[in-house]
Amino acid sequence: MASIARKFERFVDTYRRPDGGRWGGQDLENATGGIVPRSYVSHLRKGRIENPGYEKLAAIAKVMGFPPRLWFEDVDTEVQPEATNESLNLSERVNHLFKTIRDDRTDEPYTNAEVARMSLGDLTEKDVEGMRTGSISNPSVGKVVALASVFGVHPSYFLDKGKRPPIIDREVLDIFRDETASAIAHKSFHLPGQEQQMILNIIRQFEDMRAADDDDR
Report how far apart, in Å, the C-alpha atoms of 75 and of each of 7, 38, 59 are. 8, 24, 19
Calculate mean pLDDT across residues 4-12: 87
Write the pLDDT tens digit of every residue in 55-92: 888 899 989 988 888 887 764 444 333 333 346 788 98
Rounded CA gap, 2 and 8, in Å?
A: 10
Highest mean pLDDT among 67-81, 163-177, 198-212: 198-212
Mean pLDDT of the chain: 79
- What lies within 8 Å, CB to CB, of 168 at 6+ separation is 100, 101, 151, 152, 153
Q: Which of 90, 91, 86, 13 is nearest to 45 (CA)?
A: 13
125 touches 136 (CB < 8 A)? no
**pLDDT at residue 48 greater than cutoff 50:** yes
CATH number of 4-72: 1.10.260.40
Domain extent listing, the chain: 4-72, 90-177, 182-216
Q: What is the pLDDT of residue 173?
A: 56
How many CB atoms within 10 Å of residue 208? 10
Q: What is the pLDDT of residue 186?
A: 65
Q: What is the pLDDT of residue 107?
A: 78
Calculate mean pLDDT across residues 168-196: 65
Report how far apart, in Å, the C-alpha atoms of 39 and of each of 27, 32, 77, 83 are. 12, 13, 28, 31
Q: Fold identical between 4-72 and 90-177?
A: yes
- The pLDDT-based confidence of 103 (bands split at 50, 70, 90) is confident
**SS3 state of residue 102:** strand
HSE, CB side, 13 Å, CA atoms: give it for residue 137: 5
Q: Which of 80, 88, 63 is nearest to 161 (CA)?
A: 88
Helix axes 193-216, 179-189, angle to 10 degrees: 140
**pLDDT at residue 23 greater than cutoff 60:** yes
Highest mean pLDDT among 12-21, 68-77, 112-121, 208-217: 112-121
The CATH class of 90-177 is mainly alpha
Instruction: Look up residue 20 and give its amino acid.
Output: G
CA-based max dimension of the chain: 67
Instruction: Look up residue 200 and give its amino acid.
Output: L
Write the pLDDT tens digit of every residue in 132-144: 999 998 898 889 8
